[in-house]
Amino acid sequence: MAMTINPATNQEVEKYPDLTDDQLDRALERAHRAYLSWRETAVERRADVVRRVGALMLERHEDLARLLTLEMGKLIKESENEVRLAASIFTYYGDQGPGFITEETIDVAEGQAVVVTQPIGALIGVEPWNFPYYQVARFAAPNVVLGNTVLVKHASQCPQSALALERLFRDAGAPEGVYTNLFIKADQVARAIDSPLIAGASLTGSEAAGASVGQAAGRNLKKVVLELGGSDPFIVLDEDRFEHTIKAAILGRLANTGQSCVASKRFIVLEPYFDKFVEGMRAGFAGLRVGDPMDPQTQLGPLSSEDALKHLEEQVNDAKRKGAKVVIGGNRIERPGAYYEATILTGVTPEMRAYREELFGPVAVVYAVDDERAAIELANDSPFGLGATVIASDLKRARAVAQRIESGMVWINHPTASAPNLPFGGVKRSGVGRELWRLGMQEFTNRKLIRTLPADVKLEMAAG
């Protein structure tokens, strides 16, 4: 059952029934039939539809933003930013997408060899609750321009956002079946992937969900892209522009109430600057205004759900029991809704859950290290490898450190962020594949070689 529960009050707002297996099968058939004609549609027409989705998002930004805040508690100003970011992705692929799939020529001694980029079919995307528009845009925009069709199983707590996206595609002129919202249960995802009508699967979510989708795709020998969790390091190498460093740290940790895969989560600071850094973050956390996420003045809103709060609470309590120091916070906020204090932990050690697990909420773990070699070792001592931040005035030094961090993305002097023209993805348990930029348009493709030789060419045995 898909259900909107306002996390600012924990009150139920709306609910929607899941599809039956028969209804799901019919949706898969419609998406496959749509693909057979959509792939033959001129790429300019496909791009126009996607560009129009972006334009409609901007026209409806206020209503779309309020839905995000209602369903997952995102601060209203951050909801508005997400709408704009998602719209920019649709616009980007509408403008640039056709150029990403132009024919490529290979230099050969005789005749001609070209590589053409073609779509592969109907795809299913399993998307999370923390960025309901942005995550879908990363998956849907490049693939619809490419000529694939997409079915989206969104998080069950964001049904109204999911329906709003489907409506945008319909109003932008997408034929039936090109973009389909699915209200289905988790166990029905495997049924969809098992279907011969589905050509591939993409998931943004937890490790467990990624393993499940990856297993189903592997069993069916289908392409999969997985964008999973992260425990991003934020490395501080000097104290130049320290006010900027503290602002960057707070922004990196508290954006989306800390509920972001690429949020800065582990702050690794050279020993001489540790106390100053911790005090700067503590002062910033202490001054936050807690309140209704619909209020533009609110700086700390609720977590996305009561379950999310309880999970974070268990992780922090585990660290406290095992000796971690709570610099500030560490408790639920006693008010209606799923609110948790902005928290700083120090003295976290490997036997604590907070050392290895992703902390999905407003909790920062700060470490002191002796030198940059130790900083790199600690940064890499994680099962995750999504993003990272390096803060340093010496850019050559920062680049050298960035080269040695095991992650898919490193930002220097800014918390990890996202833009349509920058590739997004990780290594290790943070997933496989890339989204955004031209790489995001090359995952679910047939990169077909067409080799042309003269009719009178000498025939030789082929290898392979």
Q: Which residues are catalytic?
A: 227, 261
Task: Dig out the tokens for 213 from the structure.
Answer: 């989708």
> Hey, which residues does 104 pair with through a beta bridge?
115
Please say whether the beta carbons of 367 and 269 come within 8 A.
yes
List, edge to edge, every strand of the sheet that includes 389-391: 325-328, 343-346, 363-369, 264-270, 232-236, 389-391, 411-412
Please say whether the beta carbons of 165 and 188 come within 8 A.
no
Task: Dig out the tokens for 421 from the structure.
Answer: 């023209």
In which element (H, E) is residue 110 found?
Answer: none
CA distance 345 to 13: 35
List, edge to edge, every strand of the sheet that includes 223-227: 179-182, 149-153, 122-126, 198-204, 223-227, 431-432
Tell me the residue ranges of DSSP E strands in 347-453.
363-369, 384-385, 389-391, 411-412, 427-428, 431-432, 445-452
Please say whether the beta carbons of 315 and 348 come within 8 A.
no
Q: Shortest CA distance to 426 belongs to which of 383, 363, 372?
A: 383
The answer for residues whose C-beta is within 8 angstroms of residue 394's C-beta and 6 or more apart is 237, 238
The DSSP 8-state label assigned to residue 288 in this structure reads P
Tell me the residue ranges of DSSP E strands in 157-283.
179-182, 198-204, 223-227, 232-236, 264-270
CA distance 441 to 145: 9
What ranges in 110-158 are assigned the alpha helix state H?
134-146
Please say whether the beta carbons of 248 and 415 come within 8 A.
yes
> Hey, which residues does 332 pair with through a beta bridge?
340
Tell me the residue ranges of DSSP E strands in 306-424.
325-328, 343-346, 363-369, 384-385, 389-391, 411-412
CA distance 169 to 155: 19
* Total Cβ atoms within 10 A of residue 166: 17
Please say whether the beta carbons of 18 and 1 come within 8 A.
yes
Please say whether the beta carbons of 355 and 322 come within 8 A.
no
